[in-house]
Amino acid sequence: MTVTTTPHPSQRPHVAALIEDRFYGTVAWALRRFAGWVPRVEPFTGYGTARRVRVMGRIVLAPATATRPSGAVDRRGFRQFLTVPVPGIRVPVAVGGVTVTVQADRGGYVDAEIDLPQDAPLPTGWQQATLDGVNAPLLVVDETTTFGVVSDIDDTTMVTAVPRLLLAAWNTFVRHTSTRRAVPGMPELYRQLAAAHPDAPFVYVSTGAWNTARVLRGFLARYGYPAGPLLLTDWGPTQTGWFRSGQEHKDSSIDRLMKDLPQVRWLLIGDDGQHDPDIYRRATERWSERVVAVAIRRLTAAQQVLAHGSTQAPDGGTAANPSAPGIPTVHGDDGGELAERLADLPGVLVEAGTS
């Protein structure tokens, strides 16, 4: 049994990270001393195989008597971001009868890959790990599973019109989280895919902050999307700069999925409102044998303006971003149109070998 944690950068942290760490350190000291706040685990959904799993979560401060989860669904969005991380804390992680101790990073995040004993593999399907006694869902993918779905969230499953600054800020920080709407036809498309491939993992990769994970899980469940791990990003500066690269996050998340689940071939679903066509094009170039197809939802001209201030899709639009040779790419205005296009591809909406 071995444990691998996400590596920490070795270079001196950027000034932005130092400022953020100092701020959170001061706030944490005050909350602990004067309000009696204590560390609390926010579990995320992990994934893996019967012999190797990835367990994720975050340690934040919360009132000692708190009973309401910090990510309760119907709240104004800004409240999701009122969290104070607990860096460096060591927490026990238990899965499949194995217990290890993992140290949280500077943002309070725990991200560990755990190898299980060869003679005690996990059953496939939904299992649980625990972080300091708190249950964390864990999707164990069967070694015979060969089809999976990678999906964007913003403007692919959920109408958000991001990243245009003012509208994104309104949607993210002011509106109640329960007012979010699903993109027409997309829940039905995903349920069709799940029916055709009952053992398929659905993994939702987004540039959204981990602070929104509980709310996003509630949204997906409310509209009947298949449950699956969320791969989000941190909110705030990095060790190397003021801002994070959303494209780099998605690139690395897809690469890690390809390595973690080597038997799975993926359908990549996104939209043309941001950079998904380019991200998926790069993925098909790196992993041409591991991508079944790419499906891109087209935003209308008005939606493009709301998303980024122009009537044209960024990066030249989908026509300028073809997939690698041999990887089919389909486009549609909504889930219904994408379903029609995907129905023409073998083994996507109908299980391979079924007429």
Q: Is the pLDDT of residue 243 over 70?
A: no
Among candidates 274, 207, 216, 203, which has minimal Cα distance to 235? 207
Percent of the chain with pLDDT over 90: 58
Cβ neighbourhood burial of 176 (10 Å; 0-12, 13-18, 19+): exposed
In a domain, 123, yes or no: yes
Instruction: State whether 69 and 170 are in the same domain.
Output: no
pLDDT of residue 8: 45
pLDDT of 73 > 90? The answer is no
Do 44 and 131 share a domain, yes or no?
A: yes
Which ranges of the chain would DSSP assign to H, the alpha helix?
15-30, 165-169, 186-196, 213-222, 246-260, 276-286, 301-308, 335-342
Q: Of 105, 140, 175, at which residue does a domain stop?
A: 140
The whole-angstrom separation of Cα 275 and Cα 242 is 20
Residues 115 and 256 in one domain: no
Among 13-27, 217-231, 309-323, the range of highest mean pLDDT: 217-231
310 shares its domain with 212? yes
Same domain, 136 and 189: no
Residues 76 and 171 in one domain: no
**pLDDT at res. 91:** 96
Pair 164, 299 in one domain = yes
State whether 302 and 202 are in the same domain. Answer: yes
Look up residue 78 and give its two tokens: 């800004």
Residues 313 and 218 in one domain: yes
Query: Using 50, 70 and 90 to split pLDDT, how confident is the model at 17?
Result: low
CATH, residue 198: 3.40.50.1000
**Size of the chain in residues:** 355
Alpha helices by DSSP H, 3-92: 15-30
In terms of pLDDT, which residue wins out, 307 or 58? 58
Q: In this predicted model, which residue has the larger pLDDT, 235 or 45?
A: 45
* Residue 27 pLDDT level (bands cut at 50, 70, 90): confident
What average pLDDT does the chain have? 83
Q: How far apart are CA 266 and CA 257, in angstroms?
A: 10
Q: State the average pLDDT over residues 275-287.
A: 95
Average pLDDT over residues 20-26: 81
Look at the chain and report how many structural domains it folds into: 2
| pLDDT reading at 16 higher than 70 | no
Q: Within this chain, do residues 35 and 107 fall inside the same structural domain, yes or no?
A: yes
Final residue of a structural domain among 81, 116, 140: 140
Return the residue matching tokens 């992993």. Answer: 287
Over range 50-57, report the average pLDDT.
Answer: 97
Say whether 62 sits in a helix, a strand or coil: strand
Q: Write out the residue range of the structural domain in which residue 103 sits.
A: 3-140
Q: Are 131 and 192 part of one and the same domain?
A: no
Reported as a single tens digit per residue, the pLDDT across 96-131 is 999 999 999 989 999 999 999 988 899 999 999 999
In this predicted structure, which of 143-147, 242-246, 288-292 has the lowest mean pLDDT?
A: 242-246
What is the pLDDT at residue 15? 65
pLDDT of residue 77: 41
pLDDT of residue 209: 86
